[in-house]
Structure 1
Amino acid sequence: HPLPHQVPCWLRPRDRTRSPEVLTENGVSPSHTPLGSQSPSLTLHTSFPQGQRRESFLYRSDSDYDMSPKTVSRNSSLASEGHTAEDFIVTPFAQLLCFRRSPLGGVCVSPRATLSDQQYQQLALDTLEELDWCLDQLETIQTHRSVSEMASNKFKRMLNRELSHLSEMSRSGNQVSEYISSTFMDKQNEVEIPSPTLKDKPMSHISGVRKLSHSSSLSSTSMPRFGVNTDHEDELAKELEDLDKWSFNIFRVAEFSNNRPLSCIMYAIFQERELLKTFRIPVDTFVTYVMTLEDHYHGNVAYHNSLHAADVTQSTHVLLSTPALDAVFTDLEILAALFAAAIHDVDHPGVSNQFLINTNSELALMYNDESVLENHHLAVGFKLLHQENCDIFQNLTKRQRQSLRKLVIDMVLATDMSKHMTLLADLKTMVETKKVTSSGVLLLDHYTERIQVLRNMVHCADLSNPTKTLPLYRQWTERIMEEFFRQGDKERERGMEISAMCDKHTASVEKSQVGFIDYIVHPLWETWADLVHPDAQELLDTLEENREWYLNTMPQSPSPPPDRHLQHDRFQFELTLEDLDLSSYIYYKTFHLQTGVHLWALVWEQLDLLTY
């Protein structure tokens, strides 16, 4: 059999059997459908670039943790020529499928049972035949939920181990660990006793929605060139020449668009992609909506404002245009992704979900503490469509509107950072599974697979700051830290415990960015780059350069006290059978198979576990 990392795998457009009527219904004309017989396919490269590029912590083995935790570079490991093919498969389900190709994993085990050669060979053949059938059943399980949940649990356990080591290094390291743990892992909320409750307000309406009027001064005949009034049209035109580039400077667009970056970017992208024409969106209605949307972002919020929304929208636009994904998504899905990016933080108050929960806010009560802000952003974004001359989807069919709404809801809810590990596990499981399966084909003809890619695309765009050029990245870092510190000041005023990285007196900006890259951004973008290889390699290079810059500017921290390890309880996870590395479990069980234990019982045991 070929080695797992040598098996080619292709990403193809949707099922080619759909009729032209279905394509038209979803906003794609048969003339440029991604389903044509000549449409390109994408090879998912299964070998990793060797050399000096860093691998994320997901590729660490247990032996790596014998190293000193004080070694700063331990947070990522350099690619090693000593890796075997199996080392590059890290998600449990893909490891199981990889195991299918070589059931003993190359390990020779001497059976303790007394069997003749003929009996042993027959038992092995029968058992492997049953194993093959059972694994075929496992392979049909959708990798979106039950199977990738094992990877999520494994990644959380590995991240917990990394954070425990980081917190041993210094006080600031402990604070960075606490921030990553509390922000990017979906844990049970530890709710503080709330401040005195304000007088109850009616919750029958969506808070934050204001009556605004932009339509009276707009018409298709008098529409500005870039959708916004500006005295710097030539300068703005020059900046928009880079609209399709990752190095696009959104700060200069804001400067030249009369501080209307979101309206300007949305107008430029929709014009370039001809979405106004495709979905028959009246231009004055479109501009009215995006200006109303932009007005519902808070200009006094340092980071989560319309500038950030414009940046995420433009980044999503570039990711949608990556050559590897050419002709993969329908126009309706592209429309939904751009709309989701534009509304994903509307009416953001500049504080975290946990702050809203801890203060017993109206929003937390309305959404039952679950993805509070993300639910609110969706509600506001869709509610604004009901304002005068704002329904940009007025000419979509009922089916198209329903499909778009479902897509947008899925994508915006995925921007809840506490879902990060689940998103990462979903994507990595899908990519690795298709590398080692016999078919090796990812058709993306199921909604769960298509939305999985779109969710991660918007999530990547939302976490794209560290992959931008250093001057842009540093501006974003200054803004997010300012927003964190403002929340910390509010918590201090209320007598609350100050959230991690929100105390302006103790936070280490440089260390927070190195940890943010090592444990969150790098593993995500590494997986995305694997999906669209080689299109994102330059982004990974920039990410590494930015990490090195922050690492080199990091102030040296004093050594922790000897009893530091006693303070790590908050980062420990309770491990269950589901958390175990499935490949290790299989190898262990296979040893006992040689003494007469039937492997089919083991596989059915695992099947029950996967589908529970």
Structure 2
Amino acid sequence: IYEAENGVSPGHSPLGSQSPGLTLHTSFPQGQRRESFLYRSDSDYDMSPKTVSRNSSIASEGHTAEDFIVTPFAQVRSYSRLMRPPGPSRTAVCVFRRSPLGGVCVSPRAALSEQQHQQLALDTLEELDWCLDQLETIQTHRSVSEMASSKFKRMLNRELSHLSEMSRSGNQVSEYISSTFMDKQDEEEIPSPTLKDKPMSHIIGVRKLSHSSSLSSASMPRFGVNTDHEDELAKEFEHLDRWSFNIFRVAEFSNNRPLSCIMYAIFQERELLKTFRIPVETFVTYVMTLEDHYHGNVAYHNSLHAADVTQSTHVLLSTPALDAVFTDLEILAALFAAAIHDVDHPGVSNQFLINTNSELALMYNDESVLENHHLAVGFKLLHQENCDIFQNLTKRQRQSLRKLVIDMVLGTDMSKHMTLLADLKTMVETKKVTSSGVLLLDHYTERIQVLRNMVHCADLSNPTKTLLIYRQWTERIMEEFFRQGDKERERGMEISAMCDKHTASVEKSQVGFIDYIVHPLWETWADLVHPDAQELLDTLEENREWYLNTMPQSPSPPPDRHLLHDRFQFEITLEDLEHNNHNHVHPRNSSGGRKAICGVGNAEGTQAPYGGGRG
């Protein structure tokens, strides 16, 4: 049970207990695995890139990502901690310095001479001045993680400008990533006025369906759906708890009811039906009704994708590092959020809906249009006959679950990606350099931060799956993208990035998607749950190499450099704010906040080669 601001109420737990906290490790032996662009030094941008493989993920010689803290607030905390002597004798101290990578580099403690102590005192004063300068940039209405978000956006902007100069296809990939994963609305917004001449209270897309008449607990099929392939389905479900689970075969053996049977199997395995006293007939009626509200003619954002994200969330919840961390109510909310996160998705992006003045865009004032709609439909379906799976929850439990689900589904808006990444990385790094390195997760804000990123990771998980499965998702997302491009062409609209079937580069888009979006996210998640996600990072690297090696070698003349410079200068740093207050350039958002690519999941709108999401 949660208080509005203070998280779990003292002495209360929503139907379950959680562990004292999550232990964070300070260093991880990753061998030669690439690090993401977040660890690049400024000097790396001076090198002339001639190949998409870049070296953006290779740390400087002699250093690994684990040696450095990259989020600004964690850097300040690290300096503050390291400047304190270990004991009264002051004979041994930690030596620290800002590294060439722009992070904190920590050297082992060592005994110092008097001269070294004097030099250390001078260095300490210099570092304190730096800390104060950093703290001075924090505005009172901004969270400390916004410092990291601004920094990461600035670094991504430079990467995309770099990529844009290489070829026309590189420019298209850059435009797609910037328009999909970068939230341009950095300043306080005044919501658009609601149109008064057209009532918008009715939730569109909800249909009256009936499944309950043929269902009863006595005649319930083994996996909740009628099929002639129960044995084959049973064999597939032996791998339900594995990341390599093949959701495509489940769809094949379940009469194309992957979401219904996945939800049924997971809730049975976790005993959630028993814990929350959910009648089995009601549960099956709801999940089948939910699945019917996914569009079978949408190539990517259909019930198959919802089933995949739900199963991936189930596996992430089971990771050993998170064992007993979350309550049963939080687990219920996470699985429910994953199941409804794309319901009634029309197969086009948020920006397409905004550009065409759709009813949904008007209803939600252009803000996370599809995500808000998915939530409305998912909760509205609970009101249909024999569909209220939460009927036996207390009022407080329902309120807590609703808040959790809303926060998680809104987090699947891919335009919020950089903010989610910055929040998670700031939390992980700050806890590493303070106290015992244990992430207590004793407040709602911390717990929902992990859960929100968990569902976001599941939504962007396609590139971390086996290549065979990953490629199938890529084909589906590109088909959905191209259909949107065809609609835009027919309407005489500008075709969104990666939606033009005549010019899109699938292979290059996948490499870019992994380098700039998927890898930084999963790298941070792996840091949180180390060592449980290391195999996923290895698979991600292998898949990237496959797409890189299959990339057509046919470079196009680079577009005009001046135009590129203008197009991708859409973020400024906090340090530059004073000097550039009147020169902030917002790029043209041709495809709008989409959700994710091939490995993505909840993208509201079309997705790019990456996998899955549009916002």
What is the TM-score normalised by the length of structure 1? 0.80
1:556–1:136 Cα change, 3 Å: closer
For the residues of structure 2 that align with 1:331 and 1:103, how far apart are their CA atoms? Answer: 45
CA contact (8 A) 2:306 2:342 kept: yes
Cα deviations across residues 103-137 of structure 1 (Å, max 9, x unaligned)?
Answer: 99999999999999999989969997997999999
Shift of the alpha carbon at 1:437? Answer: 1.4
1:115–1:344 Cα change, 3 Å: closer
Shift of the alpha carbon at 1:566? Answer: 3.4
For the residues of structure 2 that align with 1:361 and 1:367, how far apart are their CA atoms? Answer: 10
Shift of the alpha carbon at 1:222? Answer: 0.9
Shift of the alpha carbon at 1:352? Answer: 0.2
For the residues of structure 2 that align with 1:282 and 1:25, how far apart are their CA atoms? Answer: 33
For structure 1, which runs of at least 5 residues remain unmatched after alignment?
Answer: 1-23, 582-612
1:169–1:43 Cα change, 3 Å: same
Instruction: Report which of the two structures shows the higher radius of gyration computed on alpha carbons.
Output: 1
CA contact (8 A) 1:460 1:525 kept: yes
1:77–1:202 Cα change, 3 Å: same
Shift of the alpha carbon at 1:72? Answer: 2.3
Shift of the alpha carbon at 1:77? Answer: 2.3
Cα deviations across residues 30-55 of structure 1 (Å, max 9, x unaligned)?
Answer: 99999999958643222243432111
Shift of the alpha carbon at 1:187? Answer: 1.1
CA contact (8 A) 1:214 1:292 kept: yes
1:74–1:287 Cα change, 3 Å: same
Q: Which moved more, 1:40-49 or 1:230-239?
A: 40-49
Q: Which moved more, 1:555-564 or 1:271-280?
A: 555-564
CA contact (8 A) 2:223 2:261 kept: yes
Shift of the alpha carbon at 1:568? Answer: 3.0
1:66–1:223 Cα change, 3 Å: same
Does 2:176 match 1:196?
A: no
For 1:74, the equivalent position in structure 2 comes to 54
1:112–1:253 Cα change, 3 Å: closer
CA contact (8 A) 1:27 1:279 kept: no
1:108–1:218 Cα change, 3 Å: closer
CA contact (8 A) 2:24 2:439 kept: no
Cα deviations across residues 394-417 of structure 1 (Å, max 9, x unaligned)?
Answer: 000000000000000000000000
Shift of the alpha carbon at 1:362? Answer: 0.4
Shift of the alpha carbon at 1:82? Answer: 1.4
Cα deviations across residues 552-576 of structure 1 (Å, max 9, x unaligned)?
Answer: 0000132434843433311113424
For the residues of structure 1 that align with 2:117 and 2:204, how far apart are their CA atoms? Answer: 71
For 2:9, the equivalent position in structure 1 comes to 29
CA contact (8 A) 1:194 1:358 kept: no
Q: Which moved more, 1:362-371 or 1:556-565?
A: 556-565
Shift of the alpha carbon at 1:392? Answer: 0.3
For 1:91, the equivalent position in structure 2 comes to 71
1:239–1:145 Cα change, 3 Å: farther
**Equivalent position SS for 2:220:** coil
CA contact (8 A) 1:488 1:504 kept: yes
1:578–1:82 Cα change, 3 Å: same
Q: Which moved more, 1:441-450 or 1:184-193?
A: 184-193
CA contact (8 A) 2:278 2:392 kept: yes
CA contact (8 A) 2:59 2:65 kept: no
CA contact (8 A) 1:215 1:284 kept: yes
Shift of the alpha carbon at 1:66? Answer: 1.8
For the residues of structure 2 that align with 1:143 and 1:547, how far apart are their CA atoms? Answer: 41
CA contact (8 A) 2:241 2:314 kept: yes
**Equivalent position SS for 1:110:** strand
CA contact (8 A) 2:183 2:415 kept: yes
CA contact (8 A) 1:51 1:80 kept: no
For the residues of structure 1 that align with 2:321 and 2:269, how far apart are their CA atoms? Answer: 20
1:430–1:562 Cα change, 3 Å: closer
CA contact (8 A) 2:68 2:105 kept: no
CA contact (8 A) 1:411 1:454 kept: yes
Cα deviations across residues 525-564 of structure 1 (Å, max 9, x unaligned)?
Answer: 0000000000000000000000000000000132434843
Shift of the alpha carbon at 1:235? Answer: 0.5
Cα deviations across residues 392-447 of structure 1 (Å, max 9, x unaligned)?
Answer: 00000000000000000000000000000000000000011111113433110010
For 1:549, the equivalent position in structure 2 comes to 546
1:318–1:243 Cα change, 3 Å: same
1:120–1:502 Cα change, 3 Å: same
Shift of the alpha carbon at 1:258? Answer: 0.7
For the residues of structure 2 that align with 1:444 and 1:468, how far apart are their CA atoms? Answer: 29
1:160–1:230 Cα change, 3 Å: same
**Equivalent position SS for 1:108:** strand
For the residues of structure 1 that align with 2:7 and 2:186, how far apart are their CA atoms? Answer: 41
For the residues of structure 1 that align with 2:189 and 2:6, how far apart are their CA atoms? Answer: 47
1:439–1:129 Cα change, 3 Å: farther
For the residues of structure 2 that align with 1:259 and 1:156, how far apart are their CA atoms? Answer: 40
**Which structure has the higher relative contact order (CA within 8 Å, separation 6+)?**
1
Q: Which moved more, 1:186-195 or 1:67-76?
A: 186-195
For the residues of structure 1 that align with 2:431 and 2:189, how far apart are their CA atoms? Answer: 44
**Equivalent position SS for 1:418:** helix
2:495 counterpart (464, 487, 498): 498
Q: Which moved more, 1:61-70 or 1:426-435?
A: 61-70
1:272–1:510 Cα change, 3 Å: same
CA contact (8 A) 1:53 1:79 kept: no
Q: Which moved more, 1:62-71 or 1:408-417?
A: 62-71
For 1:141, the equivalent position in structure 2 comes to 138
Shift of the alpha carbon at 1:254? Answer: 0.4
For the residues of structure 2 that align with 1:132 and 1:214, how far apart are their CA atoms? Answer: 67
Shift of the alpha carbon at 1:472? Answer: 0.3
1:68–1:35 Cα change, 3 Å: farther
Q: Which moved more, 1:103-112 or 1:58-67?
A: 103-112
CA contact (8 A) 1:25 1:400 kept: no
**Equivalent position SS for 2:106:** coil
Shift of the alpha carbon at 1:67? Answer: 1.5
For the residues of structure 2 that align with 1:464 and 1:514, how far apart are their CA atoms? Answer: 14
For the residues of structure 1 that align with 2:392 and 2:107, how far apart are their CA atoms? Answer: 70
Shift of the alpha carbon at 1:84? Answer: 7.2
CA contact (8 A) 2:69 2:105 kept: no
Which structure has the highest helix share of the two? 1
1:127–1:177 Cα change, 3 Å: closer
Counterparts of 1:5-404 in structure 2, within 5 Å, are: 42-74=22-54, 76-79=56-59, 81-83=61-63, 88-95=68-75, 146-188=143-185, 202-404=199-401
For the residues of structure 2 that align with 1:323 and 1:267, how far apart are their CA atoms? Answer: 23
Cα deviations across residues 469-502 of structure 1 (Å, max 9, x unaligned)?
Answer: 0010000000000000000000000000000000
**Equivalent position SS for 1:439:** coil
Q: Which moved more, 1:246-255 or 1:563-572?
A: 563-572
CA contact (8 A) 2:154 2:573 kept: no
For the residues of structure 2 that align with 1:467 and 1:428, how far apart are their CA atoms? Answer: 20
Shift of the alpha carbon at 1:274? Answer: 0.1
1:313–1:108 Cα change, 3 Å: closer
1:30–1:258 Cα change, 3 Å: farther
**Equivalent position SS for 1:145:** coil
CA contact (8 A) 1:143 1:429 kept: no
CA contact (8 A) 2:97 2:106 kept: no
2:577 counterpart (576, 580, 583): 580
For the residues of structure 1 that align with 2:464 and 2:517, how far apart are their CA atoms? Answer: 12
**Equivalent position SS for 2:312:** helix
1:29–1:237 Cα change, 3 Å: farther
Q: Which moved more, 1:97-106 or 1:35-44?
A: 97-106
For structure 2, which runs of at least 5 residues remain unmatched after alignment?
Answer: 76-92, 579-615
For the residues of structure 2 that align with 1:235 and 1:31, how far apart are their CA atoms? Answer: 46
1:243–1:136 Cα change, 3 Å: farther
Shift of the alpha carbon at 1:60? Answer: 0.2
Query: Percent of aligned pairs with the same residue?
Result: 96
Q: How many residues align?
A: 557
1:276–1:170 Cα change, 3 Å: same
